[in-house]
């Protein structure tokens, strides 16, 4: 397993905050905003100041095998703290995906009492009771956020593989709920299952098809 050096760009934000006296710098990220099915999942990670940190990266840039290996390496770091939270399909349909994603982040962070500074992937998220910095593309700029993205991605992917056995035919074990061509074909053929997000247009249009346009000529 490779580890990050202290001058690696992925540790620039953490090292700056550690030097300022913050001991528990956390990163938070979410996965699953785009799929048509399944929950949105967030994870938060805090690495100890003196830890050897695995050579993490944005989970989207890694293979399934790499993510799995890094998940194990992250959890094996002595003193690491982490939290994982999900918001269900029902939560997403009730709150909308943006608010559900933010709530998943807040719940994941809330599982780590010691965080004294938080690095947030993307745009600012309200509702945290500690100082925060939002980093656009943070999973490529912060080791803590990258680690959080890996934990959240592996957790959600494993969940969707399990759900594929409960709701066969949609290919959840391959598409993870995203709107691939084969998933959309299955949705039209099999209809909507309880794991689908009814507020998302492709699913909503199956449940309540838009009126056909009259041909003028």
Structural domain boundaries of the chain? 9-166
Dump pLDDT digits (tens) for 101-110: 999 999 999 9
Q: Tokens 């247009």, residue?
A: 201
First-to-final CA distance of the chain: 66
Q: How far is CA 112 from CA 47, 116, 130, 150, 158, in A?
A: 12, 10, 12, 17, 23
Task: Summarize pLDDT for 5-33 with one digit per residue, the tens.
Answer: 999 999 999 999 999 999 999 999 999 99
CATH number for the 9-166 domain, one of 3.40.50.720, 1.10.8.640, 3.40.50.2020, 3.30.420.10?
A: 3.30.420.10
């Amino acid at each position: 397993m490779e580890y990050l050096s202290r001058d690696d760009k992925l540790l620039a934000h953490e090292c700056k905050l550690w030097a300022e006296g913050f001991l528990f710098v956390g990163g938070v990220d979410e996965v699953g905003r785009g799929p048509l099915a399944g929950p949105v999942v967030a994870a938060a990670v805090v690495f100890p100041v003196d830890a050897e940190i695995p050579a993490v990266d944005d989970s989207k840039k890694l293979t399934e095998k790499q993510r799995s290996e890094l998940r194990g390496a992250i959890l094996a770091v002595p003193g690491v703290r982490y939290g994982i939270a999900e918001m269900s399909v029902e939560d997403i349909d009730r709150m909308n995906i943006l608010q559900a994603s933010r709530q998943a982040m807040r719940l994941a962070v809330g599982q780590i009492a010691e965080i004294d500074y938080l690095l947030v992937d993307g745009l600012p998220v309200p509702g945290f009771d500690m100082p925060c910095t939002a980093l656009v593309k943070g999973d490529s700029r912060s080791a803590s956020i990258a680690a959080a993205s890996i934990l959240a991605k592996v957790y959600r992917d494993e969940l969707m593989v399990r759900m594929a056995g409960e709701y066969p035919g949609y290919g959840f074990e391959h598409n993870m709920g995203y709107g691939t061509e084969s998933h959309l074909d299955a949705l039209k053929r099999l209809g909507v299952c309880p794991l689908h997000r009814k507020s998302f247009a492709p699913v909503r249009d199956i449940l309540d098809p838009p009126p056909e346009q009259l041909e003028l000529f």
